[in-house]
Amino acid sequence: MPLGDSITAGYTDNPHWTVDFEFGYRSGLYTRLTKAGYDFTFVGGSPEPWVSKYGDPTRGGTYKPKLDLRDLGQDGHEGYGGWTIGGIDGIVRDRIKVHKPDVILLMIGTNQRNAKSPADLSNLVGKIVTQAPDAHLIVAQIIPIAAGHDSQNKSVHAFNTYIRETLVPTYAAAGANVSTVDLFTIFLSDPNDPTSVRPGTHADNAVHPSTAMSDEMAQAWLEGIEAISALAPVAQAEHSGSPTR
């Protein structure tokens, strides 16, 4: 279950949509999981971006994504444009109950960069692992803002450091099925400098990744999924029952 804000939904340079909508990282992740032999279904009930809340990604019906996950029954997600950690917190129990995910891909915090973010994220993670103790939660270290927003990216880096060094280790030590993936460093020219965001990595020169970067994010998510020891490609392990969700 992809879970988060507009980056999970796959927004580009809305409301103009001069940059083609290609489902964000979900398209590349679908391709990689399929190639690796996983039996899976993306689940979720968000209607975005098709409801045109932030412009029409089809440009009046004249554009269709090259790989249209709708045609494959793989457009399930819980990504919502503009949502904060609190917004996801308010729906997550219901969504877990409805969709019963085995794996949850959580990326949230871009729309909430303040002092409360770590505590709010910890509360959200606690709610998820309580509601779905048998599922595996992968918490993303969120992507940076576009080049030139140095102070904001220092804050994002601090938030990600909290995720990597405090949040995930704390829950994992308590026995929760929680891990993390780094979606921040891949945007940098210098991995040790959080302000070294490479130009051209954002579709809107703000918060939404370019198509190329969405594909790099998909690779990072794949590696995070492959790192879950209990989850193996069906080609390499006996498999029965419903697909991984």
> Which tens digits make up the pLDDT trace of 14-56?
999 999 999 999 999 999 999 999 999 999 999 999 999 999 9
Q: Quick one: which of 98, 218, 215, 195 has its CA closest to 145?
A: 195
Q: Is residue 202 part of a domain?
A: yes
pLDDT at 229: 60
pLDDT digits (tens, 9 = 90+) for 132-188: 999 999 999 999 999 999 999 999 999 999 999 999 999 999 999 999 999 999 999
Amino acid (1-letter code) at residue 98: V
What's the token pair of residue 161?
């450091």
Q: Is residue 15 part of a domain?
A: yes
Q: Is the pLDDT of residue 245 over 90?
A: no
CA distance 233 to 15: 38
pLDDT band at 234 (very low <50, low <70, confident <90, very high): very low
Contact 167, 207 (CB under 8 A): no
Q: Is the pLDDT of residue 121 over 70?
A: yes
Cα dihedral 33, 174, 78, 185 sign:
negative
pLDDT at 113: 87
Q: Is residue 233 part of a domain?
A: no
Tell me the pTM.
Answer: 0.93
pLDDT at 240: 37
3-state helix, strand, coil in the chain (%, to 5): 35, 15, 50
Cβ atoms within 10 Å, residue 94: 11
- For the chain, how many structural domains are there in total? 1
Q: Is residue 242 part of a domain?
A: no
pLDDT digits (tens, 9 = 90+) for 89-119: 999 999 999 999 999 999 999 999 899 999 9
CA distance 120 to 101: 22
The residue range of the domain holding 204 is 2-226
Give the mean model confidence (pLDDT) for residues 204-220. Answer: 98
CATH at residue 94 = 3.40.50.1110
Q: Is residue 212 part of a domain?
A: yes
pLDDT band at 243 (very low <50, low <70, confident <90, very high): low
Q: Is residue 12 part of a domain?
A: yes
Q: Is residue 238 part of a domain?
A: no
As a whole number, the mean pLDDT across the chain is 94
Kind of pairing between the strands at 103-107 and 78-80: unpaired
